[in-house]
Amino acid sequence: MQPPSTASPTFMYISRPSDPNTVLLWGDRWWFAGTGVSCEFTSLAHAAEVLAAHYADEPKPVRLRLLYQPDGFESVAVACPHGDRATLAAALAGEFPTLTDPDHAWGHEPVLPVGNGFSTLLHIEAQPGLFSLSARLAHLGLAVDSAWPLATFLHALPEEWSESGAVTVVALQAERAVAYRHPADAGRTVQLWHGDTTVAEVGHWLAGIFAQNAEEPVLLFCTDDEVAAALDAYAPLDRHPGLDRLPLTDALARQVMLPRYHPAQLLPRQPMVTAQRAVIAASLAFLFFAGWTGAVYARESIASRAETEQRQARLVALRAEVGHLRNNATEIASLRAALDGGSVGPPCGSFLTKIATTLPPEIVIASLRTSGRNIVLDGWLNPSAPATVLDNWRARLAPADASWTLVAKPGVGGAFNLTGAFRL
């Protein structure tokens, strides 16, 4: 038997739109909304077969929103530049090489300011698996609309927010736990636990939170009553008014809104126009054209006369515009000269061109500002870049005969700053 392809699924279904079913792959089990039943599997290939058997009696395709939390899935808080997915991949690939591996699924939480910089939570596969699983499920009639880290889903679960804005949400089973925490006075973190001591470790962790603030709001989702009872020894409900405990299946049944373009989405965005959609659109266009041809032929002579009149009108209008455009030519030339400096300002255009032609791949520009003659450029260095890359770039960007000067100032965590001025 040939192994399933890891490419994005190419199966297409036409069916009545419906909300996708939320399913959770956590460790070695599937968990479902509204029922305490879980299904065990031995590998990701086996997981696809197990889920297909669970939905065997459902009309196909079955649309899924997949919460993806295998044991090798990591969530890490990191300092980063303020940018999109491509910017983060370029800046952090030295520390996390999988960000540039197309076989690994990854996402990140929205970038937020922290102190003088920015930070995010990276969600990364330790081993490739999600794309092949999605392809196999599509082959079995289960269409994965989106895939999300469990931590991202937990963050979206609270229906009410505390006055301080702090949020702590925990999902707990007998040998695994995931906690998303964002206190009011610190950055975001994701805690992961595995093993026989998971319940005790989570209990001590919660006890530490309540020791600092007994009324700290905590939302806890347990897979079964036995786990909840075991946790009572460390965090009893009657002693902590801020602790709200519910079954995990209730969390999966909630109507949680996760935007389509949220950066934590683990599946690549599908293009609006695919080959199959293009074929269907072309077929429909051909049928429409065939039925319309007869009517077009009958109106052809009327349209020809109207077109001649329109051409004459356009010709008159164009002649009138020629003089106006010629008058504007001098002003356009003056504005272009202003962009390149000329006699009225600094050579901003030449400076931007120099940046574009000398920027090395190890450097990411975060911002560029000019005010009068002053220049301020902020950016990030790839952690694996040579120590001399910033000075070498500055030397190429601002040689001795350049119309500007620049001085490099390295910062903390790979950040840097270039300041200078345009010469008179």
Please state, in angstroms and rounded to a whole number, the distance separating the CA atoms of residues 159 and 256. Answer: 9
What is residue 385's predicted lDDT score, i.e. its pLDDT? 84
Would you place residue 302 in the very low, low, confident or very high pLDDT band (cuts 50, 70, 90)?
A: confident
Number of H helices, E strands in the chain: 10, 18
Would you place residue 309 in the very low, low, confident or very high pLDDT band (cuts 50, 70, 90)?
A: confident
User: What count of Cα atoms within 13 Å lies in the side-chain half-sphere of residue 283?
Assistant: 6
Q: What is the pLDDT of residues 91-112, one digit of tens each?
A: 999 999 999 999 999 999 999 9
Q: Give mean pLDDT, residues 394-417.
A: 90
User: Which residues touch 26 (CB under 8 Å, ≥6 apart)?
Assistant: 67, 69, 70, 150, 171, 173, 176, 178
pTM score > 0.85 for this model? no
What is the average pLDDT score of the chain?
Answer: 84
What is residue 12's predicted lDDT score, i.e. its pLDDT? 38
* Range among 45-49, 318-322, 357-361 rated most confident: 45-49
Residue 89, both tokens: 């991949």
Q: Which candidate, 160, 205, 215, 223, places its Cα nearest to that of 27?
A: 223
β-pair type (106-108, 374-381):
unpaired
DSSP 28-86: TEEEETT---EEE-SSHHHHHHHHHHHTTTSPSPEEEEEEEE-TTEEEEEEEE-S--HH
Specify the DSSP class assigned to residue 159.
S
Report the 10 Å Cβ neighbour count for 81. Answer: 23
Residue with more model confidence, 99 or 268: 99
Residue 327: strand, helix, or coil? helix
Q: Give mean pLDDT, residues 68-92.
A: 95
CA 120: distance to chain centroid? Answer: 11
Hey, CA dihedral for 224, 142, 45, 274, is it positive or negative? negative
Q: Which candidate, 27, 172, 220, 190, places its Cα nearest to that of 108?
A: 190
What is residue 291's predicted lDDT score, i.e. its pLDDT? 56
Domains in the chain with CATH codes: 21-253 (no CATH), 348-422 (3.90.1070)
Q: What is the pLDDT of residues 202-243, one digit of tens each?
A: 999 999 998 888 888 999 999 999 999 999 888 787 788 888
Contact 131, 6 (CB under 8 A): yes
* Range among 118-132, 162-176, 261-275, 303-317 rated most confident: 118-132
Please state, in angstroms and rounded to a whole number, the distance separating the CA atoms of residues 25 and 41. Answer: 10
pLDDT at 349 exceeding the cut of 90: no
Please state, in angstroms and rounded to a whole number, the distance separating the CA atoms of residues 344 and 340. Answer: 9
Q: Which candidate, 125, 121, 90, 95, places its Cα nearest to that of 108?
A: 121
What is residue 234's predicted lDDT score, i.e. its pLDDT? 84
Would you place residue 317 in the very low, low, confident or very high pLDDT band (cuts 50, 70, 90)?
A: low
Size (the chain), residues: 424
